[in-house]
Structure 1
Amino acid sequence: MAGLGLRGAGRALLPGWALPAAPGPCPRRGCGEAAALRAMGFSQEQARRLLALQPRLGPEHREAAAAQLLLLGLSPEAAAALLERSPALLRLPTERLRERAEELRRLGLDGGRLQRAVSRCPQLFHVPRRRLEAAVRLLRERCLFTAGQLREVLETCPTVLLEEHRTLHHQFQYAYFRMGVRQKAMVQARLFQMPFAELRNRHIFLERRGLYETPHKGQTQTSNPKLKDILQLPEKDFLASLACATPEEYEVFKKLLAREEEEKEEEKEEEDVEALSATPGPVLL
């Protein structure tokens, strides 16, 4: 009888009808997270994007990270975009995010400066505090930037806090001693936004074409181009308006300069080996 009942029920279904879907898991959790994000000010689309990040992560982490970024003054769209670029922020403890924001404020990055710095460089939240402090000491005590200049450097080029300190100091020394540029001009030109290798390529190229002279006691025989123009002009404009050269000439120059550097390194290694060989060994008694 049970079999007949089932067969009868099957015949009773009209064409185009379907059996009701089996009950699935309740989407209440996702709805609750989306509602919490919407309550913070995120749009439905922004909430959807945030929920797609680290889907296995507990909702409290996502909501806490989003809330901290909003407290920094970021707009919901800026906060969502920042978390998309650096989803690892979602796994940082809330206290760590709060402490790092306070540390950056103590460095002078407050208000809009802080927003722009973390938007440009979300890795600032991951850098150990001691490394941040060491970079700041280097810029203040060895590079002698004023407090105001330091704030501008950190706002426009926050990646200086991630650089190896020796590389950072070397780039400053090159601009100061080889190019004769002072701190104010470095800040205005955003010196640290350009990789050191490219800065050096452009400077030496101008120098060898007789278009740049290292100042002696603040004086030069030629009118040097401004550091801002050397750094900020796109390469084609730099070559056309400052170097008066073709891209082909610049490419050949860079290859020759790289070869020169390799030869210098080889010569230095040979000299080191010779010096080591000439050093008398221990006397055996």
Structure 2
Amino acid sequence: MVTLVAYRQVFWWTVRNASSTVFRPPEFWKCYRHTLCFGGRLSCSSDSHRVLQSTQHTHEVGPPCRKPETDFSLRSLADMGFTDAEAACVYAAVSKAKGGSTANHALSTLFFLGLNASTVLKILDKCPELFTVRESQLQQRIGNLRKLGLGEGSLQRMVAYFPQLLTVPVTTVKHAVMFLRTKCLFTTHQIRVILRDSPAVVVDDLEQLEYKIQYVYFRMGVAQNEMVKSRLFRSTLDKVRHRHCFLERRGLYETPDKKGQTSIVNPKLDGILNVDEDTFLTQVAMATAEEFDVFKRLLARECREEEQQQGRIEYDRDDEEDDDSDDDEEEEDDSEDEDTGGKSGYRKRRKK
């Protein structure tokens, strides 16, 4: 018992004579903040003892953490993962486009989508004006695309293929989606695939787009599902018309009847549009490049003549309507004169 009491007295004597700063809570809190600022941890007793000793001697909190660079500079581009050559190219292009402070936000947004430095550099070459768009607008447009059911993989593909998509206002995208749904009768899933594979459709002229869809549907007999699978919206109307009419004139394509039947087997729309011109001529049309060039010139002449004839018909129709309106006005004037003449004669007879 005496030994236990002696041990306790020695212990409390040691505690009272130790440096009080080690156990002082405010100094310990300063030390804890100091180590957090530099990313350290108080898990090692030796490290914490050294930090405590430094705070005991200086009685000052360490310097605040250095903030990462937010200004657009070569150093910030290097921190993003660009090489020195890529950083120089990006810095020159963005400076020329006067992106300035918004460039860092645009680059961060693209990296957040999962795009690497080389892809971002290609995007900059295709669409330098993207780096002048404000961060709030970018987030709003990306959020709208996500609401349409386009996930991260689809967004990466769309932005890499057509980066101008992020410069298009949200209202324009919504209007194009509504047009495809109501006017062209595409389903929600088909519209999602169209946007993913052919994002440039949101900036196409809607009248030309509707005419192209009607041409493929009525003249070629192709349904909406095959249009989507064949990526029709990546092809221009002239390309579709040239290749279809060339096959039709050569007897290699036939418009289906009301039952969807033909006397020959038509080539698939994908095989007509999604091949280069040489492959189309050798494997589908079985013709030469000279024949195809001559046909395109003749077809262009036919289209001009049809437009002129249509213009004459409309002009003659307008003239006929104007003549009819003039005749109606003359008849009305004559009837008014007769009415007024009868009344004036009646008045003259009464005066007599």
Taking the TM superposition and a 5 Å limit, the aligned residue runs for 1:58-207 are 59-207=100-248
C-alpha contact (below 8 Å) 1:33/1:59 kept by paired residues? no
* Distance in 2, Cα, partners of 1:90 & 1:31: 14
Which of residues 39, 42, 61 in structure 1 aligns to 2:79? Answer: 39
Alignment match, 1:208: 249
Give 3-state SS (helix, strand or coil) of 2:251's partner: coil
The 3 A distance-change label for structure 1 pair 126 and 134 is: same
TM-score by length of 1: 0.84
Instruction: Tell me the CA shift for residue 71 of structure 1.
Output: 1.3
The 3 A distance-change label for structure 1 pair 171 and 58 is: closer
Instruction: Tell me the CA shift for residue 104 of structure 1.
Output: 1.5
C-alpha contact (below 8 Å) 2:74/2:87 kept by paired residues? yes
* Distance in 2, Cα, partners of 1:107 & 1:145: 14
Whose relative contact order is higher, 1 or 2, with alpha carbons under 8 Å and at least 6 apart? Answer: 1
* Distance in 2, Cα, partners of 1:85 & 1:125: 12
* Distance in 1, Cα, partners of 2:123 & 2:316: 54
Alignment match, 1:220: 262
Alignment match, 1:281: 325
Instruction: Tell me the CA shift for residue 114 of structure 1.
Output: 0.6
Q: Which runs of 5+ in 1 are unaligned?
A: 1-28
* Distance in 2, Cα, partners of 1:31 & 1:141: 46
The 3 A distance-change label for structure 1 pair 222 and 203 is: same
More moved, 103-112 vs 53-62: 53-62
Which of residues 305, 308, 311 in structure 2 aligns to 1:269? Answer: 311
Write out per-residue CA displacement over residues 213-263 of structure 1, whole angstroms, 9 at most, x where no aligned residue: 111111111100011100012112211111111111111111111111111
* Distance in 1, Cα, partners of 2:256 & 2:319: 41
C-alpha contact (below 8 Å) 2:281/2:288 kept by paired residues? yes
C-alpha contact (below 8 Å) 1:66/1:80 kept by paired residues? no
* Distance in 1, Cα, partners of 2:73 & 2:301: 58
C-alpha contact (below 8 Å) 1:143/1:169 kept by paired residues? yes
Alignment match, 2:90: 50
* Distance in 2, Cα, partners of 1:94 & 1:31: 15
The 3 A distance-change label for structure 1 pair 58 and 210 is: closer
Residue-pair matches, total = 257
Write the letter of the residue equivalent to 2:188.
A
Instruction: Tell me the CA shift for residue 35 of structure 1.
Output: 2.3
- Calculate the aligned-residue CA RMSD, in Å: 2.1
Write the letter of the residue equivalent to 1:49.
C
The 3 A distance-change label for structure 1 pair 87 and 32 is: closer
* Distance in 1, Cα, partners of 2:99 & 2:261: 63
* Distance in 1, Cα, partners of 2:153 & 2:93: 26
* Distance in 1, Cα, partners of 2:246 & 2:100: 55
C-alpha contact (below 8 Å) 1:225/1:242 kept by paired residues? yes
The 3 A distance-change label for structure 1 pair 71 and 263 is: same
* Distance in 1, Cα, partners of 2:292 & 2:90: 45
Give 3-state SS (helix, strand or coil) of 2:95's partner: coil
Instruction: Tell me the CA shift for residue 33 of structure 1.
Output: 2.0
Write the letter of the residue equivalent to 1:178.
R
The 3 A distance-change label for structure 1 pair 262 and 31 is: closer
More moved, 149-158 vs 30-39: 30-39
* Distance in 2, Cα, partners of 1:58 & 1:256: 48
Which of residues 286, 289, 294 in structure 2 aligns to 1:247? Answer: 289
Instruction: Tell me the CA shift for residue 59 of structure 1.
Output: 4.6
More moved, 180-189 vs 55-64: 55-64
C-alpha contact (below 8 Å) 1:138/1:169 kept by paired residues? no
Instruction: Tell me the CA shift for residue 54 of structure 1.
Output: 3.3
Alignment match, 1:13: none
Alignment match, 1:11: none
Q: Which runs of 5+ in 2 are unaligned?
A: 1-68, 334-352
Give 3-state SS (helix, strand or coil) of 1:145's partner: coil
Post-superposition, which runs of at least 4 consecutive aligned residues in structure 1 deviate over 3 A? 29-32, 56-59
The 3 A distance-change label for structure 1 pair 49 and 164 is: same
* Distance in 2, Cα, partners of 1:123 & 1:42: 22
Write out per-residue CA displacement over residues 121-146 of structure 1, whole angstroms, 9 at most, x where no aligned residue: 12112222222111111222232223
* Distance in 2, Cα, partners of 1:50 & 1:35: 12
Alignment match, 1:6: none
